[in-house]
Structure 1
Amino acid sequence: MIQGTPVYDICTISDFSHDDILISRFAPYLEQHKNLYAAHRHNFYHVVLFTAGAGKHTIDFESFDVKPYQVYFMIPGQVHSWAFESFTDGYIINFSNAFFQSFLLDPNYPEKFSFFSGDVKDAVIDLPVEIHQPIHAIFEAIIKEWENNASQNADMLRILMLQVFITINRLSTGSGNKGPASYNQTLLKSFQKLIEIHYTKLKLPKDYAELLYITPNHLNAICKDLLGMQAGELIRNRTILEAKRLLTNQQLNILQIAMELNFNDNSYFTKFFKKAEGITPEEFRKNILNPNHYE
Protein backbone atom coordinates (compact mmCIF):
# COMPACT_ATOMS: atom_id res chain seq x y z
CA MET A 1 0.00 0.00 0.00
CA ILE A 2 1.15 3.54 -0.75
CA GLN A 3 1.99 5.53 2.37
CA GLY A 4 0.77 9.12 2.36
CA THR A 5 3.27 10.66 4.76
CA PRO A 6 6.63 9.77 6.30
CA VAL A 7 6.21 6.66 8.45
CA TYR A 8 8.50 6.17 11.45
CA ASP A 9 9.17 3.04 13.45
CA ILE A 10 10.65 2.91 16.92
CA CYS A 11 14.08 1.87 15.66
CA THR A 12 14.47 4.89 13.37
CA ILE A 13 13.72 7.41 16.14
CA SER A 14 15.56 5.72 18.98
CA ASP A 15 19.21 5.61 19.98
CA PHE A 16 18.45 2.55 22.11
CA SER A 17 18.37 -1.11 21.16
CA HIS A 18 14.73 -1.61 22.20
CA ASP A 19 12.67 -2.48 19.12
CA ASP A 20 9.29 -2.43 20.86
CA ILE A 21 9.42 0.46 23.35
CA LEU A 22 10.80 3.99 23.59
CA ILE A 23 10.29 6.23 26.64
CA SER A 24 11.55 9.78 27.13
CA ARG A 25 10.88 13.12 28.69
CA PHE A 26 9.21 15.18 25.99
CA ALA A 27 11.50 18.25 25.73
CA PRO A 28 14.73 16.35 24.89
CA TYR A 29 12.80 14.04 22.56
CA LEU A 30 11.44 17.06 20.70
CA GLU A 31 14.87 18.67 20.51
CA GLN A 32 16.33 15.51 19.03
CA HIS A 33 13.54 14.92 16.50
CA LYS A 34 12.71 18.32 15.02
CA ASN A 35 11.67 16.60 11.79
CA LEU A 36 8.63 15.27 13.65
CA TYR A 37 6.97 18.70 13.68
CA ALA A 38 5.70 18.07 10.14
CA ALA A 39 2.81 15.70 9.43
CA HIS A 40 3.94 12.08 9.78
CA ARG A 41 2.75 8.63 10.74
CA HIS A 42 4.00 6.02 13.18
CA ASN A 43 3.70 2.25 12.89
CA PHE A 44 3.45 2.06 16.70
CA TYR A 45 1.26 3.28 19.56
CA HIS A 46 2.14 6.78 20.73
CA VAL A 47 1.28 8.35 24.11
CA VAL A 48 2.16 11.89 25.24
CA LEU A 49 1.44 13.61 28.55
CA PHE A 50 2.06 17.37 28.45
CA THR A 51 3.14 18.96 31.73
CA ALA A 52 4.11 22.37 30.30
CA GLY A 53 3.66 24.22 27.03
CA ALA A 54 1.18 25.75 24.62
CA GLY A 55 0.37 25.61 20.93
CA LYS A 56 -1.40 23.11 18.72
CA HIS A 57 -1.20 19.44 17.98
CA THR A 58 -3.14 17.76 15.21
CA ILE A 59 -4.29 14.15 14.93
CA ASP A 60 -5.86 12.99 11.67
CA PHE A 61 -6.54 16.62 10.70
CA GLU A 62 -8.34 17.48 13.96
CA SER A 63 -6.55 20.28 15.84
CA PHE A 64 -6.25 20.56 19.64
CA ASP A 65 -4.83 23.21 21.96
CA VAL A 66 -1.84 21.99 23.94
CA LYS A 67 -2.45 22.22 27.70
CA PRO A 68 -0.54 21.06 30.77
CA TYR A 69 -1.85 17.72 32.01
CA GLN A 70 -3.42 16.89 28.71
CA VAL A 71 -2.70 13.38 27.48
CA TYR A 72 -3.20 12.06 23.98
CA PHE A 73 -3.14 8.55 22.58
CA MET A 74 -2.52 7.45 19.01
CA ILE A 75 -2.72 4.11 17.26
CA PRO A 76 -0.50 2.95 14.37
CA GLY A 77 -1.27 4.62 11.06
CA GLN A 78 -2.67 7.92 12.27
CA VAL A 79 -1.22 11.19 10.96
CA HIS A 80 -0.19 13.96 13.34
CA SER A 81 1.90 17.11 13.67
CA TRP A 82 2.87 19.70 16.29
CA ALA A 83 3.15 23.51 16.37
CA PHE A 84 4.29 24.65 19.81
CA GLU A 85 4.35 28.30 20.94
CA SER A 86 6.67 27.97 23.92
CA PHE A 87 8.86 25.50 25.82
CA THR A 88 6.94 22.25 25.99
CA ASP A 89 7.66 19.32 28.25
CA GLY A 90 6.10 16.15 29.55
CA TYR A 91 6.54 12.46 28.81
CA ILE A 92 6.38 10.33 25.69
CA ILE A 93 5.87 6.58 25.34
CA ASN A 94 6.08 4.77 22.01
CA PHE A 95 5.38 1.06 21.96
CA SER A 96 4.79 -1.53 19.27
CA ASN A 97 1.76 -3.69 18.78
CA ALA A 98 3.84 -6.66 19.94
CA PHE A 99 4.92 -5.09 23.24
CA PHE A 100 1.98 -6.46 25.25
CA GLN A 101 1.36 -9.61 23.20
CA SER A 102 3.92 -11.72 25.02
CA PHE A 103 2.73 -10.42 28.39
CA LEU A 104 -1.06 -10.73 28.16
CA LEU A 105 -3.19 -13.61 27.00
CA ASP A 106 -5.37 -11.21 25.00
CA PRO A 107 -3.25 -9.84 22.12
CA ASN A 108 -5.86 -7.15 21.45
CA TYR A 109 -5.90 -5.86 25.01
CA PRO A 110 -5.03 -2.22 24.11
CA GLU A 111 -8.23 -2.08 22.05
CA LYS A 112 -10.24 -2.37 25.26
CA PHE A 113 -9.36 1.25 26.03
CA SER A 114 -11.59 3.79 24.32
CA PHE A 115 -8.64 6.12 23.66
CA PHE A 116 -6.98 3.46 21.49
CA SER A 117 -10.05 3.06 19.27
CA GLY A 118 -8.69 5.37 16.57
CA ASP A 119 -11.56 7.81 17.15
CA VAL A 120 -9.87 11.19 17.60
CA LYS A 121 -12.57 12.56 19.90
CA ASP A 122 -11.66 9.87 22.46
CA ALA A 123 -7.89 10.22 22.03
CA VAL A 124 -7.23 13.61 23.67
CA ILE A 125 -8.03 13.89 27.38
CA ASP A 126 -7.66 16.83 29.74
CA LEU A 127 -6.92 15.20 33.08
CA PRO A 128 -8.91 16.41 36.11
CA VAL A 129 -6.88 18.12 38.83
CA GLU A 130 -7.36 15.31 41.34
CA ILE A 131 -5.35 12.84 39.25
CA HIS A 132 -2.56 15.19 38.13
CA GLN A 133 -0.26 14.09 40.95
CA PRO A 134 -1.01 10.33 40.74
CA ILE A 135 -0.53 10.24 36.95
CA HIS A 136 2.61 12.38 37.17
CA ALA A 137 4.01 9.98 39.78
CA ILE A 138 3.39 6.94 37.57
CA PHE A 139 5.07 8.59 34.57
CA GLU A 140 8.06 9.45 36.77
CA ALA A 141 8.22 5.80 37.85
CA ILE A 142 8.14 4.79 34.17
CA ILE A 143 11.03 7.13 33.37
CA LYS A 144 13.09 5.79 36.29
CA GLU A 145 12.39 2.19 35.32
CA TRP A 146 13.41 2.94 31.74
CA GLU A 147 16.67 4.54 32.85
CA ASN A 148 17.58 1.88 35.45
CA ASN A 149 17.31 -1.06 33.07
CA ALA A 150 16.95 -3.45 36.02
CA SER A 151 15.99 -7.13 35.83
CA GLN A 152 12.46 -7.77 34.51
CA ASN A 153 12.56 -4.17 33.33
CA ALA A 154 10.15 -4.66 30.42
CA ASP A 155 7.52 -6.35 32.59
CA MET A 156 7.65 -3.56 35.16
CA LEU A 157 7.22 -1.01 32.37
CA ARG A 158 4.20 -2.91 31.12
CA ILE A 159 2.65 -2.94 34.61
CA LEU A 160 3.18 0.79 35.08
CA MET A 161 1.83 1.59 31.62
CA LEU A 162 -1.28 -0.49 32.26
CA GLN A 163 -1.74 1.42 35.52
CA VAL A 164 -1.74 4.67 33.51
CA PHE A 165 -4.14 3.29 30.91
CA ILE A 166 -6.61 1.85 33.40
CA THR A 167 -6.56 4.96 35.63
CA ILE A 168 -7.30 7.24 32.67
CA ASN A 169 -9.81 4.86 31.11
CA ARG A 170 -11.84 4.95 34.33
CA LEU A 171 -12.43 8.67 33.77
CA SER A 172 -14.81 7.86 30.94
CA THR A 173 -16.13 4.48 32.03
CA GLY A 174 -16.57 5.22 35.73
CA SER A 175 -15.20 3.17 38.60
CA GLY A 176 -18.09 0.73 38.69
CA ASN A 177 -17.99 -2.59 36.90
CA LYS A 178 -19.38 -2.40 33.39
CA GLY A 179 -21.56 -5.19 32.16
CA PRO A 180 -20.78 -7.10 28.99
CA ALA A 181 -21.24 -5.27 25.71
CA SER A 182 -24.64 -5.69 24.11
CA TYR A 183 -25.06 -7.76 20.96
CA ASN A 184 -25.47 -4.60 18.88
CA GLN A 185 -22.35 -3.00 20.40
CA THR A 186 -20.39 -6.13 19.55
CA LEU A 187 -21.73 -6.05 15.98
CA LEU A 188 -20.80 -2.38 15.61
CA LYS A 189 -17.26 -3.06 16.81
CA SER A 190 -16.98 -5.93 14.32
CA PHE A 191 -18.31 -3.69 11.55
CA GLN A 192 -15.71 -1.01 12.35
CA LYS A 193 -12.92 -3.60 12.30
CA LEU A 194 -14.13 -4.91 8.94
CA ILE A 195 -14.16 -1.37 7.52
CA GLU A 196 -10.54 -0.94 8.59
CA ILE A 197 -9.61 -4.08 6.67
CA HIS A 198 -11.80 -3.72 3.57
CA TYR A 199 -12.67 -0.03 3.04
CA THR A 200 -10.69 0.24 -0.21
CA LYS A 201 -12.52 -2.73 -1.74
CA LEU A 202 -15.95 -2.92 -0.10
CA LYS A 203 -17.89 0.32 -0.43
CA LEU A 204 -21.49 -0.69 0.32
CA PRO A 205 -23.19 -1.54 3.63
CA LYS A 206 -24.68 -4.70 2.12
CA ASP A 207 -21.17 -6.11 1.63
CA TYR A 208 -20.41 -5.73 5.33
CA ALA A 209 -23.86 -6.91 6.41
CA GLU A 210 -23.20 -10.12 4.51
CA LEU A 211 -19.90 -10.62 6.35
CA LEU A 212 -21.69 -10.03 9.66
CA TYR A 213 -24.59 -12.38 8.77
CA ILE A 214 -27.18 -9.66 9.27
CA THR A 215 -29.36 -7.62 6.92
CA PRO A 216 -28.31 -4.18 5.62
CA ASN A 217 -31.35 -2.69 7.38
CA HIS A 218 -30.23 -4.18 10.69
CA LEU A 219 -26.70 -2.81 10.18
CA ASN A 220 -28.05 0.66 9.41
CA ALA A 221 -30.31 0.53 12.45
CA ILE A 222 -27.38 -0.36 14.72
CA CYS A 223 -25.25 2.51 13.37
CA LYS A 224 -28.12 4.96 13.62
CA ASP A 225 -28.95 3.91 17.17
CA LEU A 226 -25.37 3.82 18.56
CA LEU A 227 -23.64 6.48 16.45
CA GLY A 228 -26.39 8.59 14.95
CA MET A 229 -25.29 7.92 11.37
CA GLN A 230 -25.91 5.48 8.53
CA ALA A 231 -23.56 2.54 7.91
CA GLY A 232 -22.55 4.00 4.55
CA GLU A 233 -21.34 7.16 6.24
CA LEU A 234 -18.85 5.18 8.36
CA ILE A 235 -17.44 3.58 5.22
CA ARG A 236 -17.20 6.91 3.39
CA ASN A 237 -15.61 8.62 6.39
CA ARG A 238 -12.84 6.01 6.52
CA THR A 239 -12.17 6.43 2.80
CA ILE A 240 -12.05 10.22 3.14
CA LEU A 241 -9.67 9.98 6.10
CA GLU A 242 -7.25 7.82 4.12
CA ALA A 243 -7.54 10.19 1.15
CA LYS A 244 -6.53 13.09 3.41
CA ARG A 245 -3.59 11.10 4.75
CA LEU A 246 -2.39 10.29 1.24
CA LEU A 247 -2.84 13.89 0.07
CA THR A 248 -0.19 15.03 2.54
CA ASN A 249 2.41 13.29 0.39
CA GLN A 250 3.44 15.64 -2.43
CA GLN A 251 5.09 12.74 -4.27
CA LEU A 252 1.69 11.22 -5.07
CA ASN A 253 -0.54 12.66 -7.79
CA ILE A 254 -4.33 12.62 -7.58
CA LEU A 255 -4.64 9.69 -9.99
CA GLN A 256 -2.30 7.56 -7.88
CA ILE A 257 -4.33 8.33 -4.77
CA ALA A 258 -7.59 7.57 -6.57
CA MET A 259 -6.23 4.21 -7.74
CA GLU A 260 -4.92 3.37 -4.27
CA LEU A 261 -8.43 3.93 -2.88
CA ASN A 262 -9.92 1.81 -5.69
CA PHE A 263 -11.70 4.56 -7.62
CA ASN A 264 -12.04 4.00 -11.35
CA ASP A 265 -10.67 7.44 -12.23
CA ASN A 266 -9.57 10.63 -10.57
CA SER A 267 -12.65 12.52 -11.80
CA TYR A 268 -14.96 10.29 -9.75
CA PHE A 269 -12.58 10.49 -6.79
CA THR A 270 -12.54 14.30 -6.99
CA LYS A 271 -16.35 14.45 -7.03
CA PHE A 272 -16.53 12.03 -4.08
CA PHE A 273 -14.00 14.06 -2.08
CA LYS A 274 -15.57 17.45 -2.86
CA LYS A 275 -19.05 16.22 -1.91
CA ALA A 276 -17.71 15.17 1.49
CA GLU A 277 -15.31 18.04 2.20
CA GLY A 278 -16.62 20.95 0.15
CA ILE A 279 -13.27 21.39 -1.60
CA THR A 280 -11.32 19.45 -4.21
CA PRO A 281 -8.41 17.16 -3.31
CA GLU A 282 -6.02 19.68 -4.87
CA GLU A 283 -7.44 22.48 -2.70
CA PHE A 284 -7.20 20.30 0.41
CA ARG A 285 -3.57 19.50 -0.38
CA LYS A 286 -2.73 23.17 -0.88
CA ASN A 287 -4.33 24.07 2.47
CA ILE A 288 -2.77 21.23 4.44
CA LEU A 289 0.73 21.87 3.09
CA ASN A 290 0.56 25.56 3.90
CA PRO A 291 3.22 26.02 6.63
CA ASN A 292 0.82 28.19 8.64
CA HIS A 293 -1.99 25.65 8.48
CA TYR A 294 -1.58 24.34 12.03
CA GLU A 295 -0.63 27.60 13.68
Structure 2
Amino acid sequence: MAKDKIPVYNIHHLQLQPVAQGDFLAEHFSDYLHKHYEHLHFPHRHNFYHLVLFINGKGSHTVDFNKYTVKPYQVYCMIPGQVHSWHFTSSINGYVINFSAGFYKNFLLNERYLDNLSFFSGNSKDGVFQLPVTLHEEVTVLFEKLIDLQKQPQPAYDLIRVILLQLLLLMDGQAEQKRIPAIPNQKLTLLNNFKRLIDAHYKSIRLPKEYADLLYVTPNHLNALCQDLLGKTAGELIRERILLEAKRLLTNVNMTVTEIAYELNFQDNSYFNRFFKKYEQVTPDDFRKQFSK
Protein backbone atom coordinates (compact mmCIF):
# COMPACT_ATOMS: atom_id res chain seq x y z
CA MET A 1 0.00 0.00 0.00
CA ALA A 2 1.19 3.50 -0.78
CA LYS A 3 2.36 5.19 2.37
CA ASP A 4 3.62 8.51 0.95
CA LYS A 5 2.35 11.32 3.16
CA ILE A 6 2.65 15.08 3.56
CA PRO A 7 6.35 16.06 3.45
CA VAL A 8 7.94 16.39 6.89
CA TYR A 9 10.91 18.77 7.03
CA ASN A 10 13.55 18.99 9.71
CA ILE A 11 15.83 21.95 10.29
CA HIS A 12 18.66 20.29 8.37
CA HIS A 13 16.48 20.40 5.23
CA LEU A 14 16.32 24.18 5.61
CA GLN A 15 20.02 24.83 6.18
CA LEU A 16 22.03 25.18 3.01
CA GLN A 17 25.27 24.74 4.93
CA PRO A 18 26.03 22.62 8.02
CA VAL A 19 26.12 24.53 11.31
CA ALA A 20 27.68 23.74 14.66
CA GLN A 21 24.33 23.02 16.28
CA GLY A 22 21.69 22.10 13.76
CA ASP A 23 18.55 22.46 15.89
CA PHE A 24 18.20 26.26 15.78
CA LEU A 25 17.66 28.59 12.84
CA ALA A 26 16.87 32.33 12.82
CA GLU A 27 16.53 34.36 9.60
CA HIS A 28 14.87 37.35 8.02
CA PHE A 29 11.75 35.96 6.40
CA SER A 30 12.57 37.41 2.97
CA ASP A 31 15.84 35.40 2.93
CA TYR A 32 14.08 32.29 4.19
CA LEU A 33 11.39 32.61 1.52
CA HIS A 34 13.95 33.12 -1.25
CA LYS A 35 15.72 29.88 -0.32
CA HIS A 36 12.70 27.66 0.26
CA TYR A 37 9.79 29.08 -1.72
CA GLU A 38 9.35 25.94 -3.83
CA HIS A 39 8.50 24.00 -0.65
CA LEU A 40 6.54 26.57 1.36
CA HIS A 41 3.48 26.93 -0.87
CA PHE A 42 2.74 23.18 -0.75
CA PRO A 43 1.22 21.67 2.43
CA HIS A 44 3.99 20.32 4.65
CA ARG A 45 4.87 19.56 8.25
CA HIS A 46 7.88 20.29 10.43
CA ASN A 47 9.37 18.17 13.20
CA PHE A 48 10.38 21.38 15.01
CA TYR A 49 8.82 24.50 16.55
CA HIS A 50 8.15 27.21 13.98
CA LEU A 51 7.78 30.90 14.84
CA VAL A 52 7.10 33.69 12.32
CA LEU A 53 6.59 37.44 12.76
CA PHE A 54 5.41 39.43 9.73
CA ILE A 55 6.39 43.09 9.45
CA ASN A 56 4.79 43.82 6.09
CA GLY A 57 3.51 42.10 2.96
CA LYS A 58 0.32 40.48 1.73
CA GLY A 59 -0.94 36.95 1.38
CA SER A 60 -2.37 34.16 3.47
CA HIS A 61 -1.23 31.32 5.68
CA THR A 62 -3.14 28.07 6.11
CA VAL A 63 -2.51 26.13 9.33
CA ASP A 64 -4.32 22.81 9.81
CA PHE A 65 -6.97 23.93 7.28
CA ASN A 66 -7.67 27.27 8.96
CA LYS A 67 -6.81 30.15 6.64
CA TYR A 68 -5.43 33.46 7.97
CA THR A 69 -4.78 36.73 6.14
CA VAL A 70 -1.22 37.98 6.66
CA LYS A 71 -1.11 41.27 8.58
CA PRO A 72 1.71 43.53 9.83
CA TYR A 73 3.06 42.47 13.23
CA GLN A 74 1.11 39.25 13.19
CA VAL A 75 2.70 36.23 14.88
CA TYR A 76 2.36 32.56 13.91
CA CYS A 77 3.51 29.86 16.34
CA MET A 78 3.41 26.17 15.42
CA ILE A 79 4.42 22.96 17.15
CA PRO A 80 5.90 19.87 15.48
CA GLY A 81 3.40 18.00 13.33
CA GLN A 82 1.05 20.80 12.26
CA VAL A 83 0.35 21.07 8.52
CA HIS A 84 0.66 24.48 6.90
CA SER A 85 1.32 26.32 3.64
CA TRP A 86 1.96 29.91 2.55
CA HIS A 87 0.35 31.88 -0.29
CA PHE A 88 1.90 35.30 -0.82
CA THR A 89 0.69 38.03 -3.20
CA SER A 90 3.49 40.56 -2.57
CA SER A 91 7.00 40.74 -1.16
CA ILE A 92 7.18 39.75 2.50
CA ASN A 93 9.35 41.06 5.32
CA GLY A 94 9.61 39.70 8.82
CA TYR A 95 11.39 37.06 10.85
CA VAL A 96 11.38 33.29 11.21
CA ILE A 97 12.77 31.09 13.99
CA ASN A 98 12.91 27.31 13.93
CA PHE A 99 14.11 25.22 16.85
CA SER A 100 13.94 21.52 17.60
CA ALA A 101 11.87 19.86 20.30
CA GLY A 102 15.12 19.04 22.08
CA PHE A 103 16.63 22.53 21.94
CA TYR A 104 15.85 23.16 25.62
CA LYS A 105 16.53 19.61 26.78
CA ASN A 106 18.85 19.59 29.82
CA PHE A 107 18.60 23.39 29.92
CA LEU A 108 15.23 23.81 31.60
CA LEU A 109 14.33 21.79 34.68
CA ASN A 110 10.80 21.24 33.35
CA GLU A 111 11.12 19.43 30.02
CA ARG A 112 7.45 20.21 29.30
CA TYR A 113 7.88 23.94 29.90
CA LEU A 114 7.04 24.93 26.31
CA ASP A 115 3.72 23.07 26.53
CA ASN A 116 2.54 25.68 29.02
CA LEU A 117 2.97 28.55 26.56
CA SER A 118 -0.47 29.50 25.31
CA PHE A 119 0.47 29.65 21.62
CA PHE A 120 2.11 26.20 21.57
CA SER A 121 -1.15 24.36 22.31
CA GLY A 122 -1.28 22.79 18.84
CA ASN A 123 -4.53 24.65 18.11
CA SER A 124 -3.91 27.01 15.19
CA LYS A 125 -6.32 29.61 16.61
CA ASP A 126 -4.19 29.88 19.75
CA GLY A 127 -1.00 30.22 17.70
CA VAL A 128 -2.02 33.28 15.63
CA PHE A 129 -2.19 36.71 17.27
CA GLN A 130 -1.29 40.38 16.85
CA LEU A 131 1.56 42.06 18.69
CA PRO A 132 0.54 45.30 20.41
CA VAL A 133 2.34 48.46 19.31
CA THR A 134 4.04 48.66 22.70
CA LEU A 135 5.96 45.43 21.94
CA HIS A 136 6.92 46.07 18.29
CA GLU A 137 10.36 47.53 18.96
CA GLU A 138 11.31 45.24 21.85
CA VAL A 139 10.35 42.07 19.97
CA THR A 140 12.07 43.03 16.70
CA VAL A 141 15.26 43.87 18.63
CA LEU A 142 15.23 40.35 20.11
CA PHE A 143 14.72 38.77 16.68
CA GLU A 144 17.65 40.75 15.27
CA LYS A 145 19.82 39.81 18.23
CA LEU A 146 19.09 36.10 17.69
CA ILE A 147 19.98 36.38 13.99
CA ASP A 148 23.25 38.16 14.83
CA LEU A 149 24.17 35.62 17.51
CA GLN A 150 23.62 32.72 15.14
CA LYS A 151 25.97 34.30 12.58
CA GLN A 152 28.89 34.26 15.00
CA PRO A 153 31.75 31.82 14.17
CA GLN A 154 31.08 30.07 17.48
CA PRO A 155 27.48 30.89 18.48
CA ALA A 156 26.76 31.02 22.22
CA TYR A 157 23.77 28.68 22.16
CA ASP A 158 23.00 29.01 25.86
CA LEU A 159 22.70 32.78 25.36
CA ILE A 160 20.50 32.12 22.32
CA ARG A 161 18.29 29.91 24.48
CA VAL A 162 17.94 32.64 27.11
CA ILE A 163 17.06 35.36 24.58
CA LEU A 164 14.64 33.08 22.73
CA LEU A 165 12.93 32.26 26.01
CA GLN A 166 12.69 35.98 26.79
CA LEU A 167 11.04 36.49 23.40
CA LEU A 168 8.59 33.62 23.93
CA LEU A 169 7.58 34.85 27.37
CA LEU A 170 7.03 38.40 26.10
CA MET A 171 4.72 37.12 23.39
CA ASP A 172 2.99 34.66 25.70
CA GLY A 173 1.95 37.54 27.93
CA GLN A 174 0.15 39.03 24.92
CA ALA A 175 -1.31 35.78 23.61
CA GLU A 176 -2.62 34.79 27.04
CA GLN A 177 -4.95 37.78 27.00
CA LYS A 178 -7.13 35.66 24.72
CA ARG A 179 -7.44 33.04 27.48
CA ILE A 180 -10.09 34.36 29.85
CA PRO A 181 -10.32 33.25 32.57
CA ALA A 182 -6.79 32.00 33.26
CA ILE A 183 -6.60 28.22 33.66
CA PRO A 184 -5.32 26.94 37.04
CA ASN A 185 -2.02 25.06 36.68
CA GLN A 186 -3.38 21.75 37.97
CA LYS A 187 -6.25 21.75 35.49
CA LEU A 188 -3.99 22.91 32.65
CA THR A 189 -1.53 20.08 33.36
CA LEU A 190 -4.30 17.48 33.24
CA LEU A 191 -5.70 18.94 30.04
CA ASN A 192 -2.26 18.99 28.38
CA ASN A 193 -1.63 15.40 29.46
CA PHE A 194 -4.96 14.38 27.95
CA LYS A 195 -4.08 16.12 24.67
CA ARG A 196 -0.68 14.42 24.58
CA LEU A 197 -2.30 11.02 25.11
CA ILE A 198 -4.75 11.72 22.29
CA ASP A 199 -1.87 12.63 19.97
CA ALA A 200 -0.11 9.39 20.86
CA HIS A 201 -3.10 7.02 20.74
CA TYR A 202 -5.93 8.52 18.65
CA LYS A 203 -5.62 5.73 16.08
CA SER A 204 -6.12 2.96 18.61
CA ILE A 205 -7.96 4.49 21.60
CA ARG A 206 -11.29 6.13 20.85
CA LEU A 207 -13.21 6.09 24.17
CA PRO A 208 -12.93 8.84 26.83
CA LYS A 209 -13.12 6.15 29.53
CA GLU A 210 -9.89 4.57 28.28
CA TYR A 211 -8.09 7.93 28.44
CA ALA A 212 -9.53 8.61 31.89
CA ASP A 213 -8.07 5.31 33.08
CA LEU A 214 -4.63 6.31 31.74
CA LEU A 215 -4.89 9.63 33.57
CA TYR A 216 -6.13 8.03 36.82
CA VAL A 217 -9.31 10.12 36.86
CA THR A 218 -12.96 9.24 36.37
CA PRO A 219 -14.59 9.69 32.95
CA ASN A 220 -16.99 12.22 34.50
CA HIS A 221 -14.08 14.26 35.90
CA LEU A 222 -12.29 14.26 32.52
CA ASN A 223 -15.44 15.26 30.70
CA ALA A 224 -16.21 18.03 33.21
CA LEU A 225 -12.65 19.37 32.83
CA CYS A 226 -12.95 19.59 29.04
CA GLN A 227 -16.39 21.17 29.26
CA ASP A 228 -15.19 23.70 31.82
CA LEU A 229 -11.99 24.76 30.06
CA LEU A 230 -12.82 24.28 26.37
CA GLY A 231 -16.59 24.04 26.15
CA LYS A 232 -16.24 20.62 24.53
CA THR A 233 -16.64 17.04 25.69
CA ALA A 234 -13.67 14.68 25.97
CA GLY A 235 -15.18 12.68 23.11
CA GLU A 236 -15.23 15.77 20.89
CA LEU A 237 -11.50 16.35 21.45
CA ILE A 238 -10.73 12.77 20.43
CA ARG A 239 -12.98 13.03 17.39
CA GLU A 240 -11.48 16.38 16.32
CA ARG A 241 -7.99 14.87 16.42
CA ILE A 242 -9.05 11.96 14.21
CA LEU A 243 -10.74 14.31 11.75
CA LEU A 244 -7.71 16.62 11.66
CA GLU A 245 -5.42 13.71 10.77
CA ALA A 246 -7.91 12.49 8.18
CA LYS A 247 -7.88 15.93 6.51
CA ARG A 248 -4.10 16.05 6.66
CA LEU A 249 -3.86 12.68 4.93
CA LEU A 250 -6.48 13.60 2.34
CA THR A 251 -4.22 16.39 1.07
CA ASN A 252 -1.86 13.65 -0.13
CA VAL A 253 -3.02 12.51 -3.57
CA ASN A 254 -0.81 9.42 -3.36
CA MET A 255 -3.07 7.80 -0.75
CA THR A 256 -6.51 6.48 -1.60
CA VAL A 257 -9.43 7.03 0.74
CA THR A 258 -9.38 3.31 1.50
CA GLU A 259 -5.70 3.51 2.48
CA ILE A 260 -6.43 6.53 4.72
CA ALA A 261 -9.27 4.63 6.42
CA TYR A 262 -6.85 1.76 7.04
CA GLU A 263 -4.16 4.13 8.31
CA LEU A 264 -6.61 5.61 10.83
CA ASN A 265 -7.72 2.16 12.02
CA PHE A 266 -11.29 2.26 10.71
CA GLN A 267 -12.91 -1.13 10.19
CA ASP A 268 -13.78 -0.40 6.58
CA ASN A 269 -13.93 2.38 4.02
CA SER A 270 -17.70 2.87 4.26
CA TYR A 271 -17.54 3.45 8.03
CA PHE A 272 -14.79 6.04 7.53
CA ASN A 273 -16.85 7.79 4.83
CA ARG A 274 -19.93 7.95 7.10
CA PHE A 275 -17.86 9.21 10.03
CA PHE A 276 -16.16 11.93 7.99
CA LYS A 277 -19.34 13.14 6.29
CA LYS A 278 -21.28 13.25 9.58
CA TYR A 279 -18.88 15.78 11.09
CA GLU A 280 -17.51 17.61 8.04
CA GLN A 281 -20.71 17.63 5.92
CA VAL A 282 -18.77 16.41 2.87
CA THR A 283 -17.35 13.04 1.85
CA PRO A 284 -13.58 12.47 2.01
CA ASP A 285 -13.43 12.56 -1.80
CA ASP A 286 -15.30 15.86 -1.95
CA PHE A 287 -13.04 17.35 0.72
CA ARG A 288 -10.01 16.34 -1.31
CA LYS A 289 -11.46 17.95 -4.44
CA GLN A 290 -12.24 21.18 -2.58
CA PHE A 291 -8.75 21.31 -1.12
CA SER A 292 -7.08 20.76 -4.49
CA LYS A 293 -8.99 23.72 -5.90
TM-score by length of 2: 0.92
Task: Give the letter aligned to residue 148 of structure 2.
Answer: K
CA deviation map 1:233-284 (0-9, x unaligned):
0000000000111111111111111111110111100111111100011111
Query: Which residue in 1 is equivalent to 2:292?
Result: 289
Query: Which residue in 1 is equivalent to 2:249?
Result: 246
SS in 2 for 1:51: strand
Task: Give the letter aligned to residue 17 of structure 1.
Answer: P
Select 1:39's aligned residue among 43, 46, 53: 43
Query: Which residue in 1 is equivalent to 2:85?
Result: 81
Give distance in 2, aligned partners of 1:3 and 1:77: 16
Give distance in 2, aligned partners of 1:3 and 1:132: 42
Q: Give matches, 1:39-188, under 5 Å.
A: 39-150=43-154, 153-173=156-176, 181=184, 183-188=186-191
Select 1:277's aligned residue among 280, 284, 288: 280
CA deviation map 1:154-175 (0-9, x unaligned):
112111111110101111447x
Give distance in 1, aligned partners of 2:201 and 2:233: 18
Query: Which residue in 2 is equivalent to 1:235?
Result: 238
Query: Which residue in 2 is equivalent to 1:14?
Result: 15
Give distance in 2, aligned partners of 1:4 and 1:179: 38
SS in 1 for 2:94: strand
SS in 1 for 2:190: helix
Change (3 A) 1:180 1:285: closer
Give distance in 1, aligned partners of 2:15 and 2:271: 42
Task: Give the letter aligned to residue 135 of structure 2.
Answer: I
Change (3 A) 1:182 1:82: closer
CA deviation map 1:65-123 (0-9, x unaligned):
10111111111110000111111011111111111113222222211211111011110
Select 1:24's aligned residue among 8, 16, 27: 27
Q: Give matches, 1:212-227, under 5 Å.
A: 212-227=215-230
Query: Which residue in 2 is equivalent to 1:5?
Result: 6
CA shift for structure 1 position 55: 1.1
SS in 2 for 1:122: coil
Unaligned 5+ residue runs, structure 2? none
Task: Give the letter aligned to residue 194 of structure 2.
Answer: F
Give distance in 1, aligned partners of 2:42 and 2:183: 41
SS in 2 for 1:279: coil
Change (3 A) 1:179 1:59: closer
| Coordinate RMSD, CA, aligned | 1.9
Identity in percent: 49
CA shift for structure 1 position 201: 0.5
SS in 1 for 2:126: helix
Q: Which shifted more, 280-289 or 13-22?
A: 13-22
Give distance in 2, aligned partners of 1:260 and 1:140: 43
CA shift for structure 1 position 44: 0.8
Give distance in 1, aligned partners of 2:4 and 2:229: 32
Unaligned 5+ residue runs, structure 1? 291-295
CA deviation map 1:185-210 (0-9, x unaligned):
33222211211111110111111111
CA deviation map 1:18-57 (0-9, x unaligned):
3211221111111111221111111111111111111100
CA shift for structure 1 position 214: 2.2
The answer to whether the 8 A contact 1:4-1:247 is kept is no
The answer to whether the 8 A contact 2:208-2:234 is kept is yes
The answer to whether the 8 A contact 1:3-1:246 is kept is no
Query: Which residue in 2 is equivalent to 1:293?
Result: none
